[in-house]
Chain A
Amino acid sequence: MDQLLTKAGALYKDREKIAFSAMLIAGSVAFYFSYAPGIIALSPPDWISGGWIQGFEVVASYNTVGFFLALVLMAFAYGFWSWAFLPEPATIYTMGVLRGILGRDAIIRQAIGKRFRILLDGGSHIDVSCRIKGPGGEWFLYRLTSSRYMHNNLEGIAFRHGMSVRDGRFTSQISSDELHSRTLLLAKAMMLVNTT
């Protein structure tokens, strides 16, 4: 794996640890603030007999609702953070490789959600989306998707470039060390579609 990506992977692991410990602390703080000011019970349904109610008052209270809300918010913030951002060295790697093939002044737009869009001449584009960790435990996977085409031999062209077609777009899931060579192949396939 490329050195930048190794760095990015290590950075990601570190950040995961930091986020986890921060969440532990924030969780305990949220717990304290939810239950310290006194329990405000939800009104228990009247079919529960008296002895149970006192126990239920702690469990089924606005405090619990608030506490879980805080936990959900934290989980959501963490989920958003890991969905949206790529560690910086990985971004540098991706941009560097893409610029390497498509030229210094290629127009590459970076979007939130670890996505890149390369605008090519003639209105077509290539979408590159990155995944930090794949299901097989592989680091930094990319998915390439081209713009949509109407062509009667789209599938044939895709096969000859090692890709498949999904609703009129060339698409392929690739590993980080294939990013250069297979983006090149995709660009070539798109040229073929445009000229034939």
Chain B
Amino acid sequence: MEEEDTLRSVYELLQLMSSLNETRRAILLALGHIYPRSVSGVQLSRLIGYSGKSRSLYRGVLAHLQEDKMILIDQLTPKLYSIRINNEHPLLGVLVTMCRAYGKEAKNIYMKALEEE
């Protein structure tokens, strides 16, 4: 029974991820791997290879992801935000679990990109 629940969640996660566009998918994957760390907008746009301004990322894509409770954004100072994935989300929780179990190497790559300031 439990296995069926997990499979169902994985199916729904797969469906959700494939319904999102490239930018959103990249954001969720990157944030899922580096969980529980949170990143700033500039760091995030570097992680996902976003070429536009991080300000337009906030006002568009990130605002919509937050509205659907997929990510959490805390405003630290007027200009600095900390962005992390919402681990309480029923499907993204599964993603985080999977990333932590099988995504060590990918996580290292992401972390390395973060350290290169």
Chain B residues lying within 8 Å of A156, measured Cβ to Cβ, are 90
Chain A residues lying within 8 Å of B89, measured Cβ to Cβ, are 159
Question: A134, A163, A164, A184: which contacts B60 (Cβ < 8 A)?
Answer: A134
Per the bound structure, the CA–CA distance linking A182 and B64 in Å amounts to: 13
Chain B residues lying within 8 Å of A178, measured Cβ to Cβ, are 19-21, 24
User: Which positions 49-84 of chain B face chain A at CB distance < 8 Å?
Assistant: 52, 55-61, 63-64, 67-70
Interface centre among B12, B52, B55 (most CB of A within 10 A): B12
Per the bound structure, the CA–CA distance linking A163 and B65 in Å amounts to: 9
Instruction: Verify A162–B60 contact, CB threshold 8 A.
Output: no
Contact of A135 with B by CB under 8 A: yes
Per the bound structure, the CA–CA distance linking A168 and B69 in Å amounts to: 16
Chain B residues lying within 8 Å of A49, measured Cβ to Cβ, are none
B37, chain A: closest CB distance, angstroms? 23
Question: A134, A137, A141, A164: which contacts B68 (Cβ < 8 A)?
Answer: A164
Chain B residues lying within 8 Å of A159, measured Cβ to Cβ, are 69, 89-91
**Closest residue of chain A to B16, judged by CB?**
A162
Interface centre among A137, A160, A177 (most CB of B within 10 A): A160
Majority-rule SS of A interface residues: mixed
Instruction: Verify A182–B19 contact, CB threshold 8 A.
Output: yes
Chain B residues lying within 8 Å of A173, measured Cβ to Cβ, are 64, 67-68
Task: Please classify how large the interface on chain B is, using the bins under 10, 10 to 19, 20 to 34, 35 or more.
Answer: 20 to 34
**Closest residue of chain A to B89, judged by CB?**
A159
Task: Please classify how large the interface on chain A is, using the bins under 10, 10 to 19, 20 to 34, 35 or more.
Answer: 20 to 34
Given contacts A136-B58, A162-B16, A181-B19, contact A174 B64 (CB under 8 A): yes
Per the bound structure, the CA–CA distance linking A164 and B64 in Å amounts to: 10
Contact of A172 with B by CB under 8 A: yes
Contact of A119 with B by CB under 8 A: no
Per the bound structure, the CA–CA distance linking A141 and B70 in Å amounts to: 18
Contact of A14 with B by CB under 8 A: no
Chain A residues lying within 8 Å of B56, measured Cβ to Cβ, are 136-138
Chain B residues lying within 8 Å of A172, measured Cβ to Cβ, are 64, 67-68
User: Which positions 134-182 of chain A face chain B at CB distance < 8 Å?
Assistant: 134-138, 141, 156, 159-164, 172-175, 177-178, 181-182
Interface residues of A (CB under 8 A from B): 134-138, 141, 156, 159-164, 172-175, 177-178, 181-182, 184-185
Interface residues of B (CB under 8 A from A): 12, 15-16, 18-21, 24, 52, 55-61, 63-64, 67-70, 89-91
